[in-house]
Amino acid sequence: MEKNSFVLRGNICYSETKDRLSITDQGYLVCEHGISRGVFRELPEAFRHLPVTDYGEQLIIPGLVDLHLHGPQYTFRGLGMDLELLDWLDTYTFPEESRYEDLEYARKAYQSFARDLQESATTRAVVFGTVHGEATEILMDALEGSGLQTYVGKVSMDQNCADDLREGNGKAALEAVRKWLHRVEGKYEHTKPILTPRFAPTCSEALLEELGHLQQETGLPVQSHLSENLSEIRWVKELFPWSSCYGDVYDHFGLFGGEAKTVMAHCVHSTEEEAERMRAKGVFIAHCPQSNMNLSSGIAPIRGYLEKGLSLGLGTDVAGGANLSMFRCMADAVNVSKLYWRLVDQTKHPLTMEEVFYLATRGGGSFFGKVGCFEDGFELDALVLNDDAMTQVGSFCTRERLERYLYLAEEKGRLDAKYVAGNQIAVHP
């Protein structure tokens, strides 16, 4: 049998564009060496030698991409949801992340996180660790074992954080990153490093400058937070008075798109200047609707970003978001867009199911390359969704079944199979 080569049969759905689905009922999805060769109503002769798995009437969709979550925060998800961002960081996040200096604690916590992420509908993720290099390596080990495709970052911060998380100064923090990168170089097949300044307030100008030089040297991607909370934005202006906007701080040091592939979480309160700079430089936005509600940050203007042509995906932002479900994330994105339309700007109509499905698959997947779609040449990430337990009187078309699944996944949905880059990942339906 050819490695990672097979055919899946079922009711197949993927995004052609941000507002149009391709649906083939009882179609054939061909995977050859981990790459999709397309979806067909009849299996072409050229692929009839490949083994076929027939999933009957089940839904087959691309894998879901989580562009922003915090591995070490998985232990306290669901706590402190009555706090705003900065108080929540001081009360829960920084004390918990300090515990990851204990490698046994890190191993136990990260094994739980990686196991549950493997069991979820997520196939690819961009993940924050902590400032601890060895603990972040443990996180990478756990995720590598899951078979998922991930970017993982050792956090960098040298100011405005708990004393036991502060990394001395910019040069000391950079040396810690270099040491971590040396330890993980060439170690993993599925797990890649990403530069991770926590967010601008916790990074001195010296540290940001050093990270910018390191990015130029290595070509590594970058992840951080941007314009999440109004108090945070005011704080950034106090710390970096020369900046024209929050994003200008990262951009000044070469950590904001262009040659540095970048994902910024939230962007709830980005200015016109900031949004235009993200568009021009190809910065990805990770929209995290549940977190933005839980921490009272606000409602990101995603309709406006789509209209401007920005690069967009979705993130659970655990533990600002309380769970790993990307289906819940899609439903939340629709819901908060309705509030934005009703309460903020009635010219920005709510997001559709097609649009949030695109963000969770092809939109976020493009951060990883040709990912998130079943067209010829895309890496084959796929989910087989079983909605048999969802009460159904009468019949629904494939699009309607998919929409119901977004809202009912945690109640009645079941994940029957999961494939990442052509490899089947063990899940327990």
Question: Which region among 3-7, 260-264, 362-366 has the lowest average model confidence (pLDDT)?
Answer: 3-7
The pTM of the full predicted model, rounded to 2 decimals, is 0.97
Chain-wide mean pLDDT for the chain?
96
d(CA 261, CA 153): 14
Return the structure tokens found at 382: 């796929």
The per-residue DSSP string of 85-134 comes to: HHHHIIIIIHHHHHGGGSHHHHHHHHHHHHHHHHHSSEEEEEEE--S-HH
Does residue 292 carry a pLDDT above 80? yes
Q: How confident is the model at residue 429 (pLDDT cuts 50, 70, 90)?
A: low
Give pLDDT tens digits for 106-152: 999 999 999 999 999 999 999 999 999 999 999 999 999 999 999 99
Cα 137 to the center of its chain, rounded Å: 19
* Fold assignment, 64-368: TIM Barrel (3.20.20)
pLDDT digits 0-9 by tens, 346-375: 999 999 999 999 999 999 999 999 999 999
Report residue 360 as tokens: 């969770």
pLDDT class for 422, splitting at 50, 70, 90? very high
In the sheet that holds 35-40, the strands lie side by side as 35-40, 20-32, 6-17, 52-62, 382-386, 414-420, 423-424
Q: What is the largest CA-CA distance in the chain?
A: 66
6-63+372-424 shares its CATH topology with 64-368? no
Residue boundaries of the structural domains of the chain: 6-63+372-424, 64-368
Architecture in CATH for domain 6-63+372-424? Roll (2.30)
Q: Does the pLDDT at position 251 exceed 80?
A: yes
Please report the DSSP string for 252-272 in residue order.
Answer: HTT-SBTTB-EEEEE-TT--H
Give me the mean pLDDT over the 318-325 stretch. Answer: 96
Convert the pLDDT of each residue in 392-415 to its tens digit: 777 899 999 999 999 999 888 999
Per-residue pLDDT band at 391 (split at 50, 70, 90) = confident
Over residues 174-185, mean pLDDT: 98
- As a whole-number percent, the residues of the chain with pLDDT over 70 amount to 100
Q: What is the pLDDT of residues 60-110, one digit of tens each?
A: 999 999 999 999 999 999 999 999 999 999 999 999 999 999 999 999 999
Question: CB–CB of 74/27 below 8 Å?
Answer: no
pLDDT surpasses 70 at 1: no
Residue 10, pLDDT above cutoff 60: yes
Mean pLDDT across the stretch 192-208? 97
